[in-house]
Amino acid sequence: MNGLLAGKIVVVAGASRGIGLAIGRGFLQAGATVLGLSRNPQPDSGFHHSLAVDLEDADASEKARDWLLTLGVAPDVLINNAALSDKRLLEHVTTEQWLSIMAVNLRSPHLLIRDLAPLMGAGGSIVNISSIRALRGFAGDSVYQASKGGLETLTKALAVELAPRGIRVNAIAPGAIATSMNAAALAEPTHRADALAKIPLGQFGAPEDVAGAALYLASGLSGFVTGTTLVVDGGQSMRG
């Protein structure tokens, strides 16, 4: 896939670790100029530029837009990957938790699209990183699931709204992806065995699996694809 995104400017929100970092590095290999947005940018990411910004803040998208204008670049691709997760049963959900998760997982992508899409030209691509938790019910994770369900609906709505500008909007719904965030949980033998039993392919995904899907949706390979969700879960969501 070397050269697939040559000459393209890609903005990755939530780029400091895990899936976001893998997407950014995959896009670098595809020839893109990669700009990362994250609370704590990684100095060894290899990205061309990085902006330290807290995507929970309401003005984060405006800061990102002004940064791009200062750099003198217009994005061709926007990847909305930033997310918070805090699993709790319903009776333990707090208003603060609700507002924080919704701010990062739903408001941030919405406002980044609002402020960066006007800088995009025809042929632009927006990819929202959702979750299979938006597609099925899981106990003890209602706020995160609600935020990702909203992101799925937002993807469909803006795919229609931005189509006349030649901008495509799609989503990716990862399943069980092995990252540093869930390494401790996946290392626990019983939990690991239970999780693997739900995945028909019998293995956890890697961040690079999601990066490959993002590369497809960001490139001309998917030029007639918009408003859809690409599920990357080893078949987990197909199993009852």
Cα-based angle 154, 98, 213 (whole degrees, multiple of 5): 40
Task: Find tokens 């040559």 and name the residue.
Answer: 6
Task: Find tokens 């980044």 and name the residue.
Answer: 112
The one catalytic residue in 27, 47, 144, 204 is 144
- Here the tokens at position 240 are 């009852």
d(CA 214, CA 233): 14
Phi, psi of 138 (to 5 degrees): -135, 130
9 with 72: CB under 8 angstroms? Answer: no
Residue 11 has what DSSP assignment?
Answer: E
Q: What string of DSSP letters covers 78-139?
A: EEE-------B-GGG--HHHHHHHHIIIIIHHHHHHHHHGGG--TT-EEEEE--GGGTS--T
Phi, psi of 54 (to 5 degrees): -90, 110
216 in catalytic set? no
**Residues recognised as catalytic:** 144
